[in-house]
Amino acid sequence: MKINEVEQLVGISKRNIRFYEKEGLLSPGRNADNGYRDYGEEDVETLRKIKLLRKLDVPLEEIRRMQQGELTLADGLLRHVIQLERAQKNLGTMRSLCQELARTDEQLPNLDAGRWLAEMERMEQEEGTQFVNIRKKDTRKRYVGPVVAAAVFVGLMAGIIGLILWAISLDPADALPLWLLLILIAVPSAVIVGVLLALWQRLKQIQGGEEDAASKY
């Protein structure tokens, strides 16, 4: 099967499927004739299992450990139940704090946020409560690879165009026909445009967060 067929069968987008392949949770075969991915019934069933567990919010790492036999399904799910219970307790604490803060009838301009943050920090240290982590991961390093690769390709194609123009300037009398020169220049120019468009799309993916996208079905 092709990826479009799998997408329809399982109800997972192509982007999700490729993400799971990248994470090592799925390993489809390759067509010997064209090298394209060739999905079988086993791959479809694997994706259904991944979809089920992800819809239950089981982390990818836990799914990987189940696949590798490091955890049984029961052990993995029981571990997840503990995490859900902790999350439920944390949500209950946050709800209580929200209710308490609302009862104070404080207005935002006069809110003593420092006092509340100090209390939350105490609860994290002494009671093990986990509030929402607002620290965002620095994604700037993830931009470096795509930008450098794009710069190399653009530089290479620009160099080819420069060589063509340089060769023409050396001996205009023996230059190739105009239509052929235009084709020779158009090819690397089209590559440059394609690379820049691909870079733009890649940067959008990084900014949006691939991990977030992988949990959307």
- pLDDT at position 147: 86
**Lookup result for tokens 């299992």:** 49
Q: What is the pLDDT of residue 215?
A: 46
pLDDT score of 213 = 47
pLDDT digits (tens, 9 = 90+) for 94-144: 999 999 999 988 888 888 999 999 999 999 898 888 887 765 555 556 677
Task: Supply the pLDDT for residue 84.
Answer: 93
pLDDT at 29: 86
d(CA 86, CA 76) in angstroms, rounded, equals 16
21 vs 27, 46, 54, 91, CA distance in Å?
A: 6, 11, 15, 33
Give per-residue pLDDT as tens, 67-76: 999 999 999 9
pTM, 2 dp:
0.58
pLDDT above 70 for 60: yes
As a CATH number, domain 3-67 is 1.10.1660.10
The domain spans of the chain are 3-67, 76-126, 140-213
Pick the range with the lowest mean pLDDT from 49-53, 80-84, 208-212: 208-212
- Flag the least confident range among 36-40, 149-153, 155-159, 203-207: 203-207
- Averaged over 62-91, what is the pLDDT? 93
Instruction: Please give the pLDDT value at position 155.
Output: 92
Task: Express each pLDDT in 8-25 by its tens digit.
Answer: 999 988 889 999 998 899
Contacts of 83 (CB under 8 A, 6+ apart): none
Residue 2 and residue 205: Cα distance in Å, rounded? Answer: 23
| Phi-psi label, residue 93: left if phi above 0, alpha if psi -120 to 50, beta otherwise | alpha
The secondary structure of the chain as a DSSP string is --HHHHHHHHT--HHHHHHHHHTTS---EE-TTT--EE--HHHHHHHHHHHHHHHTT--HHHHHHHHTTSS-HHHHHHHHHHHHHHHHHHHHHHHHHHHHHHHTT--GGG--HHHHHHHHHHHHHHT-------PPP--HHHHHHHHHHHHHHHHHHHHHHHHHHHHHHH-GGGPPPHHHHHHHHHHHHHHHHHHHHHHHHHHHHHHH-HHHHTT--
Q: Whole-number mean pLDDT of the chain? A: 85
